[in-house]
Amino acid sequence: MQLSRLWGIVFYRTLAGIKAEGRQNYLGYFWYLLEPALSTAIFYFAFSHVMGRGVEYVIFLLIGLTAWQWYEGTCLAAATAIKAKLHILQHFDLPKHIFPLVTILVSTWKFLCIFFVLIAGYLLLGKNPWPGWNLVWLPLILACQLLLIVSTSIPLAISATYFNDTLTLASTVFRILFFVSGIYFSADKVPAQLLGAFYANPMAGIIESYRHVLLDRQPPNFPALLYCALASGAWLGVGLLFSAYVNRRILKHASL
Amino acid sequence: MPASDSKPLISLRHVGLAYANPLARLRLGKDRRIHALRDVSFDVHEGDKLGIIGRNGCGKSTLMRLLARVYEPDSGTVSFSRQVHIQMLSLGVGFEGSLTGRENAVLNGMLLGKTRAHMFSRLEKIKEFSELGDFFEMPVGTYSSGMVLRLGFSVAMETEPDVLLIDEVLGVGDASFARKSQKAIEERFTSHHTIVMISHDPNIITGLCNRAVWIEQGRTMADGPPAEVSAAYLRARDLA
């Protein structure tokens, strides 16, 4: 019963977040589709017509950038979710991690809209658009990345409530990872002796898997997905234990 | 049977609690904490109408959050006889401006510890008590502050906790709704409900409660009949 109550709270707060996003601007939810459509058009023009790279490279890049943006944008937004709701938490006995979870779900909804536009754009612009039956693996890749996001965000949000420095540190780490996750290049460009380090970052395997499924008519990189799922699952377990330990302590020690 | 003869619902023994002082983080070797509670002990029994009296800054609000299980103590013990549902009367806290009054009533009820099914079954009563009419189906962001309080109060009255924690609030909203809400709260004081109320006004405590605890500088100074405890509190305040 307690679990169903908590899911109810997450559901209504997520609904509130999605409604609020839609009402922020005059064009409302239309921005969910317009924003990625504009980015896609700009990338298409810049890389295809100005730099002379093929449409395939534009799609290759957009897949990497969109997946990365879901990861980094969501984790950094979720990092401040507990601190932003301290005024609520001072009145109710609630597990603190439900607030980052709400931020993740709102952000994921937005990502899925963007991803839909991206796939639609690919089907319209790509030379060999039908990615084949390997497309059925797409939900598995999305699930692995969602697990990675949740497992990264919960400890990050708790830590950021104690120490403001966490956000600066996390932004720096994300910036470094951005350049080594294979967004601008594929794994075959990585020197053999560095491949282990390259795949140690779970996002490298995730981005590669999206491209395998959407562009290369191949199944995803299963060992990389398994590694991501196991590492994320273990880290999520640690995060939930950490959350339970600090649950009634954190508000006494929150930073300004 | 007098309430105090039964097994306590909540029992506090030598409870202490301190906050981190964010301005003194790098002062190593010193006690960097702000002590809100130092040594608090009392029991809350089923059916008690317990008033907690004390000056501003004596630790009353911290004590409420401790009773609501938002905090855990740094020293001493807080024990609960069973899985009691304890609720702070926090009007409108956690409301989302983009959700309708109806949706917020369900969300707020779940924040207060109730299930979605329970809140669905009380929605018409909440709508009626809050006197919001068609506004109940409008986003709360369009409400006046008085309307937010009315909705918050109406939700709180339908959640029926085992222990209700009240922080000074009795009547809310405009004159008419204030009378109605004060009456609803006072009815709780004359029923079987268990209530813990904090106030710095001895008249309120003496008028509504059957027991009082006086807290001063984070310590229990007196525990007993409201008239005696209030008199001791007033004497100390006049001497200070």
Per-residue pLDDT of B125-152, as tens digits, reads 999 999 999 999 999 999 998 899 999 9
Domain count for chain B, please give it: 2
Asked if residue B62 and residue B104 are part of one domain, the reply reads: no
**ipTM beyond cut 0.85:** no
DSSP H or E run through B106:
helix B101-111
Residues B177-213: tens digit of each pLDDT: 888 888 888 888 888 889 999 988 888 899 889 999 9
Q: Yes or no: say if A101 and A10 are a contact pair by the CB < 8 Å rule.
A: yes
Are the beta carbons of B115 and A8 separated by less than 8 Å? yes
Asked if residue B107 and residue B140 are part of one domain, the reply reads: yes
Are the beta carbons of A19 and B99 separated by less than 8 Å? yes
Are the beta carbons of B112 and A92 separated by less than 8 Å? yes
Asked if residue B147 and residue B107 are part of one domain, the reply reads: yes
3-state SS assignment for residue B153: helix
> What whole-number distance in Å separates Cα of residue B202 and Cα of residue A97?
40
Q: Which residue of chain B has the CA closest to A10?
A: B107
Asked if residue B70 and residue B106 are part of one domain, the reply reads: no
pLDDT one digit per residue (tens) for chain A, 256 residues: 588 899 999 999 999 998 887 777 777 677 777 777 787 778 777 877 777 777 778 888 888 988 999 999 999 999 999 999 988 998 998 999 999 999 999 999 989 988 887 787 777 776 666 777 888 999 999 999 999 999 999 999 999 998 889 999 999 999 999 999 999 899 999 999 999 999 999 999 999 999 999 888 899 999 999 999 999 999 999 999 999 998 888 888 776 5
DSSP code for B75: E
**B111 in a domain, yes or no?**
yes
How close is the nearest chain A Cα to the Cα of B203, in Å? Answer: 26
Asked if residue B63 and residue B130 are part of one domain, the reply reads: no
Q: Which residues of B touch A (CB under 8 A)?
A: 17-20, 22-23, 65, 68-72, 86, 88, 90, 93-94, 96-99, 103, 106-107, 110-116, 139
Where does a domain end: B120, B146, B161?
B161
Range(s) of the domain holding residue B141: 89-161
3-state SS assignment for residue B18: strand
B216: domain CATH number is 3.40.50.300
The runs of H, that is alpha helices, within A44-137 are: 55-79, 81-84, 86-89, 98-125
Q: Yes or no: say if B101 and B130 are a contact pair by the CB < 8 Å rule.
A: yes
**B79 in a domain, yes or no?**
yes
Q: Compare CB distances from B69 to A13, A93, A254 and report the shortest one's residue.
A: A93
Where does a domain end: B138, B161, B184?
B161
Asked if residue B36 and residue B154 are part of one domain, the reply reads: no
Q: Yes or no: say if A150 and A59 are a contact pair by the CB < 8 Å rule.
A: no
Are the beta carbons of A253 and B97 separated by less than 8 Å? no
**B54 in a domain, yes or no?**
yes
Asked if residue B109 and residue B129 are part of one domain, the reply reads: yes
Where does a domain end: B137, B161, B185?
B161
Structure-token pair, residue B167: 């922080």
Are the beta carbons of A251 and B70 separated by less than 8 Å? yes
Q: Which residue of chain B has the CA closest to A161?
A: B22
SS3 content of chain A, % helix, strand, coil (to 5): 80, 0, 20
The residue count for chain A: 256
**B178 in a domain, yes or no?**
no
How far apart, in Å, are the Cα atoms of A251 and each of A7, A11, A94, A131, A248? 22, 24, 12, 50, 7
Asked if residue B143 and residue B97 are part of one domain, the reply reads: yes
How far apart, in Å, are the Cα atoms of B129 and each of B69, B150, B179, B180? 29, 8, 13, 9
Asked if residue B9 and residue B78 are part of one domain, the reply reads: yes
Q: Which residue of chain B has the CA closest to A5?
A: B115
Strand partners, B224: B212
Q: Compare CB distances from B110 to A9, A87, A89 and report the shortest one's residue.
A: A9
**B136 in a domain, yes or no?**
yes
Are the beta carbons of B90 and A92 separated by less than 8 Å? yes
How far apart, in Å, are the Cα atoms of A212 and each of A28, A125, A164, A208? 34, 18, 39, 6
**B182 in a domain, yes or no?**
no
Residues B31-80: tens digit of each pLDDT: 678 888 999 999 999 999 999 999 888 888 899 999 999 999 999 999 99
> What whole-number distance in Å separates Cα of residue B197 and Cα of residue B53?
9
Asked if residue B157 and residue B112 are part of one domain, the reply reads: yes
Angle of CA points A90, B145, B120, to nearest 5°: 70
What residues in B contact A19, CB-CB < 8 Å? 98-99, 139
**B181 in a domain, yes or no?**
no
Asked if residue B69 and residue B14 are part of one domain, the reply reads: yes
